[in-house]
Amino acid sequence: MSISKCTIVDLPKIADPRGNLTFIEGGNHIPFPIQRVYYLYDVPGGADRGGHAHKKLQQLIIAVSGSFDVVLDDGHERKKVHLNRSYKGLYVSEMIWRELENFSSAAVCLVLASRPYEEDDYYRNYAEFISALGST
Ligand code: TYD
Ordered strands of the 108-113 beta sheet: 8-10, 88-92, 59-65, 108-113, 36-40
Residue-wise pLDDT tens digits, 55-74: 999 999 999 999 999 999 99
How is residue 4 annotated by DSSP? G
Q: In this structure, which residue's CA is closest to atom 20 in ligand 1? A: 117
Q: What is the pLDDT of residue 79?
A: 97
Ligand 1, atom 9, lies closest to the CA of 50
Residue 135 is predicted with a pLDDT of 78
Residue in 117, 123, 129 to alter for ligand 1 test, most ligand atoms within 8 A of Cβ: 117
Q: Are strands 88-92 and 49-54 parallel, antiparallel or unpaired?
A: unpaired
Do residues 95 and 16 make contact, with C-beta atoms less than 8 angstroms apart? no
Nearest residue CA, atom 5 of ligand 1? 50
Question: DSSP strand E in the chain: where?
Answer: 8-10, 13-14, 21-22, 36-40, 49-54, 59-65, 68-73, 78-83, 88-92, 97-101, 108-113, 122-123
pLDDT at residue 136, rounded to an integer: 61
**CATH code: domain of residue 128:** 2.60.120.10
Give the number of domains in the chain: 1
Cβ pair 29, 73 in contact under 8 A: no
Q: Distance between CA atoms of 87 and 23, rounded to whole angstroms?
A: 9
> 2-43: per-residue pLDDT in tens?
999 999 999 999 999 999 999 999 999 999 999 999 999 999
Domain encompassing residue 80: 3-134
Q: Which amino acid is at 96?
A: I
39 lines ligand 1 (CB under 6 A): no
Confidence of residue 1 (pLDDT cuts 50, 70, 90): confident
Q: Is 29 a catalytic residue?
A: no
For residue range 81-127, list pLDDT tens digits in order: 999 999 999 999 999 999 999 999 999 999 999 999 999 999 999 99
